[in-house]
Structure 1
């Protein structure tokens, strides 16, 4: 334990050191003077000024008191809607004012603005100029000649300089156009040039911004000799999204503005900084609109004008990251003898999540949200919490398997025979419903060969009136002898559980152990001999052996399906067994009769009666054991449709069990240990939750696509998208690593198993949805033994639709982003592609099932079977002179 504590301390210290090393600290010229002018809008919050964002005199006075310590003058953009209060209040603090008249297509409003601007200039001595219109020509809301008329009208009525504010190239281009059409130019009609130079919008980097501004200033002075030139807007946003090469940020803003002011003062430039205070209501300006202020919306400085540029809240964030990391690391101390490497991996994961939490905290505190963006971020974070928990659980499993100690409780080679030579009686129950008689006969023959002296076998065929199914089995049981009890029960209620209840009623009174196998399972002779001795411990209530299959070579689809099943039994069950929290899966299961009776026997209110009973046994305090040795081999589902139906039944039944048992997980409600509760909870979350969450997030992202692509608002930030990518990487690493370490399959089968596992995401999510809205669905038999025919319907229709839509959504995002090239949008498109993989996996298997490759046929070109190509059986090359099979012929592989 001391070593583990030392590891946690070391990782936490390394995390703190990493924050120290990554702390950004940039140099910029000091500015100790007072700014000549800043743009000021007296609005607060996210309400639009034209609707409900009306400033008060008290608010304006507080703002101007703050600004009077930073600037000599302010520039306004309108003269109505409460802004008319600014000039007289500004005079109280010695601030000069450049009044603005907002001009657009609304002639009535334009008239009000002009009259108000003129009135303010006439009655306030601190007004030093009027700007008629702001980027009015750039927005296409007025023609140059019409705007000139308004400017001339204002000039005639005031004694202060009058101009208009436009992007710098509008001034240049208008002069050229005016000369071509022999009309007055804007430049000749104003008292000075008020040029806006905003390098961010022109795709310049923050490193190029100041040089660009200086170049444009010199260009305008050369272009309009003798004319007063004012850079009426220069700034850089502190947050938002990049525009190609232009990246906003707090450091970029601070360094750019300090460099600009230093150089502007050195050459005597007249300039105005945009803007004084962040304006959250400007969220429609490409995401950066709210973040141009040198003060935030709380009227606090964003940066210092002297000294190194640093993040003043950096160490607060580091503290948050470290605290979260330490808290998430504490459960490591409860692990049983963790190794140093295991503890290091888990501690590093905890601290990585802590760092992400700090980044989320910083984002939330430095951004402004309207209802839609706040809702989107909140919903995204809510959905990410279980995703992060699942990823952490998977990393824990990787660390345990790869770096932890070998399993302690796993039965690897059976349990020694009892010393007294007494073998408790076992009653083996085999329920069957429309099962192929020849298949069931193989199962019974294998039971008859069991190397165990004291057992019986109860075969119950339920709800199968066709005598061709039950008559051969009845005859076969008679042939096998008195140990075999045959029951043919019709109109049985409660599905498989109802049949097993009838079997219990016919069980020999002296049977202490109940064994359950499915009708397709061929058991090995040593099954009971190896595992029944575990019940010598009176606390043991259940012993579970894994499922396996004998028809994995029937087709390529069966081959990868069998690999997918193996992962659960060789990885998940082994790890859960360490905490005595295995999932009982019915077949190959041995149950103490007393434990079954205490737990209420087979329950008919769920369609996964085996898992339901197993959990009840554990809740009552009985010990369970698991072995990963194969003692029985069954048959895989015949078709992909049957595979999906089986997975739907398991998931739906699992959700029924969650609804039925969740109260038993409350403190004191059962004898479940803390570790057992954790394993079951994480298991359900990892399976039912992860699959459902994946579908929900994919659909929500599809809905989000048009908002991002066409509305240019609410772009998902990297704090939402990168965790999705990271969780996908963790899931893939989890699958590949644990398969390589625990599951004895070849690489090709492993990759195929991954595709098979992903392909049921939609199926499991549908089952969970069914569980939310229904209480009971009918039991669906899994077709095995070659009885079912392949459906004429394409088995992955909805997966194909959703997968295609995700690809279309990604393409739309990439195409609509070609001009702006916002990094977050490209990441979002990548997320959509990743989210499409489970859906397309289902499509791939559905297509594979109908292909010639699936049947392990001869390849036309080589004469080599698919089974041979993937190493399932040795390659048998054709003899010299042999004739290759004709095109279209099929030679199916034999069952190994």
Structure 2
């Protein structure tokens, strides 16, 4: 344990050191002067003058008092709606004011704005200019000639310079407009023109020179220059707090050096400017709380950096503490887990930084909160999978696993050891008689002297199904008890209760096998000795199948089943927390009685009973040696129905048993509670969350594509990609380490596993709104036929919609190239894979390539075409051509 503690301390130290080493520190020219002018808007909620959003005098006075320490003047954009209060208050702090008149298509309101601006210029001696309209030509609100007339109207009425604010290229392309103003107020915002922060200042200086050359002798003012501190990139233009600080400090230094007149946009962040895209609220040199975003002197650093580092390290430590509770973890195991914890800690600090550094309207706050609520369980699932990777790849070998050939009890069966009687129960419902006969014959061959077999056929009135079995049981002898029960309630559990009533009174152990399972002769001989320990209540052997070569679909399905039995069950067994799956199960009769026997209130009666036995403190054991082989579901439809039943039954069990996970409610240990809780979360939760997140993302697509609102990548979309990568690694690494399958079958098993995501999520949804669904028998033995309906219709719909959504995002983002939108599109593609996997298997089932014969023939033909296999040719005698009969004989 000391070594593990040392590992945790080492990782914590490295984590903290990395934060120290990676701290960004950039240099920029110091600026110790006073800014000549900054843009100021006193509004909150909206900036439109007609909206009842009049700022208070106290608020304006507090703002201007703060700004007076930073600038000599302010620029306004309107003269009504409360803005008219600004000039006289600004005079109290010695601030000059450039008054603005907001101009749009509303001529009546335009006149009110103009008259208000004129009035302010006349009544306030600190007004040093009037700007009639802001980017009015660029927005298409006014024609050039009409705007010129408005400018002339104002010029006649005031004694200060009059102009309009426009983007630099509007001035360049409209010399007539330039001639009508007293000075050119040019907006130069390199961000909106896709320049990088490294190019921004050079571009501004270049455009300033260009305007001076085009309009010699004209006063040129850069009326807007700035850089956003947050939001989305625009092609090469990357917003950020460092970028803003460096750009502005470089700009003001250059501007002062060449005598440029300029105005910085803007003084204070305006959270209401969400309509300007992701960067709209973040142009201020002060945040909305009126705090400086950066220092104008010294290195440019993140003032909150060490706070974030502390959060990251502390979260990493807290998530690492459960490692100390693991049973003898190895150094590498602890290293992997603590490193993963540190990674999650860094993500938590990133979430905190985003929440602290951004402004939210109700919709964005709701979306972010919902996203985090869904992401937290996904992160927990990813952590659980990383833990399983670490345990299997770097941890100690399983210690509780029953291994074929190794002793399982202090004393093995011999001449002086009794053979406890085993009663094997085989429930059957409309099962093919020949299949069930094979199962009974295998039981008859068991190498164990003291057993009986109770065959219970329930609710199967057709004598073609039960009569041959009755006859076969008679032929096999008195060990085989046949029961034909009609009107049985409780599905399979009801049938098993009837079997228990007919069980021999001296039977100590109950064995359960499905009607399709052919057991090995040594099943009981090898596993019954485990019950020599009186604490053992149950021993489970894995399922396996003997028809995996029926088709390619069956081949990959069999590979998918194997993963659960060779990976998950082995690991859960270490915590005495296995999932009982009925067939190939041996149960101590006393444990069954104490647990209440077979309950009919869930459709997974075997798992329900197994959990109840564990809750009463019994030990359970597992072996991954195959002691029996059954049949796979006949069709993909049957495969999905079986998975739906398991998931729905699992959710029923969660609802039934969750109270027993409360303190003192059962004999479950903390490790057992953790294993079951994570198991349910990892299976039911992961699949359901995956579907829910995919559907929510689909709903979000039009908002992202057409409203200019992207999803923050570092806190929402990149974690989804990371969780997918972890799941992929979990599947591939553990399959290679634990499951003896080839690469092709492993990849097929991965497709099969993904293909039931929609099925499992539907089962969970059914479990939320219903209490009981009927037991659905899994069709096996070749009696069922493939449905004429396409078995992945809804998966196809959702999968295609996700791909279409990704395409829409890519197309609509081609002009802006916002990185977050491309990442969001990639997430949609990843989320489509489980749905498309179901479509692929449904198509495979009805295609020629599902047949192994097709692949064998294709392989032979390919070998012949490339010359690796000789092709039989007709024999030719001399120079004569063979006759048709000879060709036919040769071909045959």
Q: TM-score, normalised by structure 2?
A: 0.96
Note if contact 2:538-2:586 (Cα within 8 Å) is conserved in structure 1.
Answer: yes
Aligned partner of 1:282 in structure 2 is 273
Aligned partner of 2:70 in structure 1 is 70
Aligned partner of 1:890 in structure 2 is none
Match of residue 448, structure 1, among 420, 444, 451: 444
Aligned partner of 1:564 in structure 2 is 560
- The total of aligned residue pairs comes to 867
Aligned partner of 2:374 in structure 1 is 383
- Cα distance change of structure 1 residues 48 and 140 upon mapping to structure 2, 3 Å threshold: closer
Residues 418-444 of structure 1, C-alpha deviations (whole Å, 9 max, x = no match): 464111110000000000000000000
Aligned partner of 1:18 in structure 2 is 18
1:92 matched to 2:92? The reply is yes
Match of residue 537, structure 1, among 533, 537, 545: 533
Aligned partner of 1:694 in structure 2 is 690
In 1: Cα distance, 2:193 partner to 2:11 partner: 44
1:158 matched to 2:149? The reply is no
Aligned partner of 2:251 in structure 1 is 260
Matches within 5 A, 1:818-837: 818-837=814-833
Gaps of 5+ in 1: 176-184, 870-875, 884-896
In 1: Cα distance, 2:476 partner to 2:48 partner: 86
Query: Residue 461 of structure 2 aligns to a residue in which SS?
Result: coil
1:663 matched to 2:654? The reply is no
Aligned partner of 1:328 in structure 2 is 319
Note if contact 1:859-1:865 (Cα within 8 Å) is conserved in structure 2.
Answer: no
Note if contact 2:710-2:821 (Cα within 8 Å) is conserved in structure 1.
Answer: no
Note if contact 1:284-1:713 (Cα within 8 Å) is conserved in structure 2.
Answer: no
Note if contact 1:800-1:839 (Cα within 8 Å) is conserved in structure 2.
Answer: yes
In 1: Cα distance, 2:616 partner to 2:107 partner: 80
Matches within 5 A, 1:848-859: 848-859=844-855
Residues 121-174 of structure 1, C-alpha deviations (whole Å, 9 max, x = no match): 111111100001000000000011111111111111111111000000001111
Aligned partner of 2:103 in structure 1 is 103
Residues 454-491 of structure 1, C-alpha deviations (whole Å, 9 max, x = no match): 11000000000000000000000000000000000001
Q: Give the superposed CA RMSD.
A: 1.6
Query: Residue 12 of structure 2 aligns to a residue in which SS?
Result: helix
In 1: Cα distance, 2:838 partner to 2:651 partner: 22
Query: Residue 276 of structure 1 aligns to a residue in which SS?
Result: coil
Match of residue 218, structure 2, among 212, 220, 227: 227
Query: Residue 342 of structure 2 aligns to a residue in which SS?
Result: helix
Match of residue 608, structure 2, among 592, 605, 612: 612
Task: Give the Å deviation of 1:51.
Answer: 3.1
Task: Give the Å deviation of 1:109.
Answer: 1.4
In 2: Cα distance, 1:877 partner to 1:479 partner: 52
Task: Give the Å deviation of 1:879.
Answer: 7.4
- Cα distance change of structure 1 residues 18 and 543 upon mapping to structure 2, 3 Å threshold: same
Aligned partner of 1:363 in structure 2 is 354
Matches within 5 A, 1:727-876: 727-859=723-855, 862=858, 864=860
Task: Give the Å deviation of 1:853.
Answer: 1.6
In 1: Cα distance, 2:657 partner to 2:859 partner: 56
Aligned partner of 1:411 in structure 2 is 402
Task: Give the Å deviation of 1:286.
Answer: 1.4
- Cα distance change of structure 1 residues 202 and 651 upon mapping to structure 2, 3 Å threshold: same
In 2: Cα distance, 1:864 partner to 1:717 partner: 50
Query: Residue 280 of structure 1 aligns to a residue in which SS?
Result: coil
Task: Give the Å deviation of 1:285.
Answer: 0.4
Query: Residue 284 of structure 1 aligns to a residue in which SS?
Result: helix
Q: TM-score, normalised by structure 1?
A: 0.95
Query: Residue 554 of structure 1 aligns to a residue in which SS?
Result: coil
In 2: Cα distance, 1:549 partner to 1:363 partner: 51
Note if contact 2:602-2:652 (Cα within 8 Å) is conserved in structure 1.
Answer: yes
Task: Give the Å deviation of 1:852.
Answer: 1.2
In 2: Cα distance, 1:47 partner to 1:857 partner: 72
In 1: Cα distance, 2:855 partner to 2:621 partner: 46
- Which moved further from structure 2: 89-98 or 40-49? 40-49
Task: Give the Å deviation of 1:715.
Answer: 3.5
Task: Give the Å deviation of 1:111.
Answer: 1.2
1:186 matched to 2:177? The reply is yes
In 1: Cα distance, 2:310 partner to 2:550 partner: 58
Residues 658-701 of structure 1, C-alpha deviations (whole Å, 9 max, x = no match): 01111111111111100000000000000000001110011111
Gaps of 5+ in 2: 876-892
Residues 818-875 of structure 1, C-alpha deviations (whole Å, 9 max, x = no match): 0000000000000000000000100111111111121212459746499x99xxxxxx
- Cα distance change of structure 1 residues 469 and 865 upon mapping to structure 2, 3 Å threshold: farther
Query: Residue 191 of structure 1 aligns to a residue in which SS?
Result: coil
Query: Residue 276 of structure 2 aligns to a residue in which SS?
Result: coil
Aligned partner of 2:884 in structure 1 is none
Matches within 5 A, 1:115-514: 115-175=115-175, 185-413=176-404, 415=408, 417-418=412-413, 420-514=416-510
Note if contact 2:758-2:795 (Cα within 8 Å) is conserved in structure 1.
Answer: yes
Match of residue 511, structure 2, among 515, 521, 527: 515
1:638 matched to 2:629? The reply is no
In 1: Cα distance, 2:873 partner to 2:508 partner: 65
